[in-house]
């Protein structure tokens, strides 16, 4: 039986190395796509968390009904149900106290996420003016916001103030 010559061994080595490099390249492409998808999901939840806090905390007594409706429209689950039940009182208090709140989000970070939900940590500051004497007094807030995907929208499902 003839033994393979050095040319045969070299050809086999080239084939094995080529296959290994193709496998490694394929893995790297797959891993890169996964990383990009996670970055996009993170960016989507970060933007939704930022906007949720601005929507929730920005209030102008001149358009209190619209502000409250915007909160309801951007909420889901028990949070939405609870807020809907308190909406009329909330509007009444806002109008009576002539409150205007301007919110600035200072930082946002995704604590955890899946395709359909996330917990986002938000640090924000607000300036409040009202009939009780507050005049652009700065206040700082730290919030944990649970987000839930509903169709093509991401909505608040829970908000907790963090000490």
Q: What is the DSSP string of the chain?
A: -PPP-HHHHHHHHHHHHHHHHHHHHHHHHHHHHHHHHHHHHHHHHHHHHHHHHHHHH-EEGGGHHHHHHHHHHTB-HHHHHHHHHHHHHHHHHHHHHT-EEEEEEEEEEEEEE-SSEEEEEEEEEEEEE-TTS-EEEEEEEEEEEEEEEETTEEEEEEEEE--
**pLDDT score for 138:** 83
**pLDDT score for 134:** 65
Mean pLDDT within 61-74: 94
**pLDDT score for 3:** 67
Residue 103 contacts residue 139 (beta carbons within 8 Å): no
Confidence tier at 1 by pLDDT (50, 70, 90) = low
Per residue in 114-138, pLDDT (tens digit) is 999 999 999 999 998 877 766 777 8
| Exposed e or buried b per residue across 129-163, where buried means at least 16 C-beta atoms within 10 angstroms of its C-beta | bbeeeeeeeeeebebebbbbbeeeebbbbbbeeee
Give dist(CA 15, CA 19) in Å, integer: 6
Q: What is the mean pLDDT of the chain?
A: 91
Per residue in 29-45, pLDDT (tens digit) is 999 999 999 999 999 99
**pLDDT score for 130:** 77
pTM over 0.75: yes
Mean pLDDT within 10-17: 90
**pLDDT score for 129:** 82
**pLDDT score for 147:** 98
């Amino acid at each position: 039986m003839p033994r393979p010559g050095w040319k045969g061994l070299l050809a086999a080595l080239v084939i094995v190395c080529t296959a290994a490099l193709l496998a490694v390249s394929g893995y790297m492409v797959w891993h890169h796509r996964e990383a990009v998808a996670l970055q996009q999901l993170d960016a989507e939840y970060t933007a939704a968390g930022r906007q949720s806090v601005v929507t929730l905390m920005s209030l102008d007594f001149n358009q209190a009904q619209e502000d409250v409706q915007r909160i309801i429209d951007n909420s889901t689950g028990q949070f939405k149900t609870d807020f809907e039940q308190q909406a009329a009182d909330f509007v009444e208090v806002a109008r009576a106290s002539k409150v205007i709140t301007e919110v600035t989000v200072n930082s946002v970070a995704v604590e955890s996420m899946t395709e359909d939900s996330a917990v986002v940590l938000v640090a924000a500051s607000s300036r409040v003016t009202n009939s009780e004497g507050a005049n652009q007094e700065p206040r700082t807030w730290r919030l944990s916001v649970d987000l839930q995907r509903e169709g093509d929208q991401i909505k608040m499902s829970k908000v907790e103030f963090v000490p």
